[in-house]
């Protein structure tokens, strides 16, 4: 299975990606990593004992790569949100994920079947507990932790390309006579 190393301001985290269960999500993530998209991005949302979220180029949860991908969570073999899971963040609409992701800091069964789990931490679980975000604009608060560098350590021998989600065209109705 593919692996990605995230070098953060707190240390390294290595994730193993579930390509068999979520191939489009994994392809998107690997392509973004290889293009340097995640470098120097903050963990803009950290909820203690719940999630650490990153991957937003705006640093506030509103940005992405300029496209969205299909949510693979509804597929029959979706993964559950356990401690150390890597999952795609999105809006309330299912097919709106792009670059933002979150790590589960605890089992989160309330998210099962709603978000695509596409990997798990295999090294650096202790690093997640150290991640911080900055609340407001104060000089006395520590800066938000960030991803300094991301790199693919292992992948399968094929091309990894994002597949932007395009909703099906509505059927055209009308009189054909």
Delimit the domains of the chain by residue range: 3-154
CATH code matching the domain that covers 3-154, chosen among 2.40.100.10, 1.10.10.10, 3.40.1350.10, 1.10.275.10: 2.40.100.10
For residue 169, CA distances in Å to 15, 83, 166, 172 come to 36, 39, 9, 9
pLDDT tens per residue, range 51-104: 999 999 999 999 999 999 999 976 566 789 999 999 999 999 999 999 999 999
Cβ atoms < 10 Å from Cβ of 151: 14
For residue 142, CA distances in Å to 137, 138, 155, 167 come to 10, 9, 35, 42
pLDDT tens per residue, range 13-47: 999 999 999 999 999 999 999 999 999 999 999 99
Q: Are 40 and 174 in contact (CB under 8 A)?
A: no
């Amino acid at each position: 299975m593919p692996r990605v190393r995230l070098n953060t301001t707190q240390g390294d985290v290595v994730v193993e990606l579930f390509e068999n269960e979520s191939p489009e999500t994994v392809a998107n993530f690997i392509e973004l990593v290889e293009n340097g998209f995640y470098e120097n991005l903050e963990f803009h949302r950290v909820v203690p004992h719940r999630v650490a979220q990153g991957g937003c180029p705006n640093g506030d949860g509103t940005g992405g790569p300029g496209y969205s991908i299909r949510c693979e969570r509804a597929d029959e073999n979706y993964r559950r949100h356990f401690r150390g899971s890597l999952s795609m963040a999105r809006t309330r609409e299912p097919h709106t994920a792009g670059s933002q992701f979150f790590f589960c800091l605890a089992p989160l069964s309330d998210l099962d079947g709603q978000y695509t789990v596409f990997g798990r931490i295999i090294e650096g679980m202790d690093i997640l507990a150290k991640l911080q975000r900055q609340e407001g604009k104060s000089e006395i608060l520590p800066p938000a932790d960030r991803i300094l560098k991301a790199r693919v350590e292992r992948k399968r021998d094929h091309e990894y390309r994002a597949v932007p989600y395009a909703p099906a065209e509505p059927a055209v109705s009308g009189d054909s006579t």
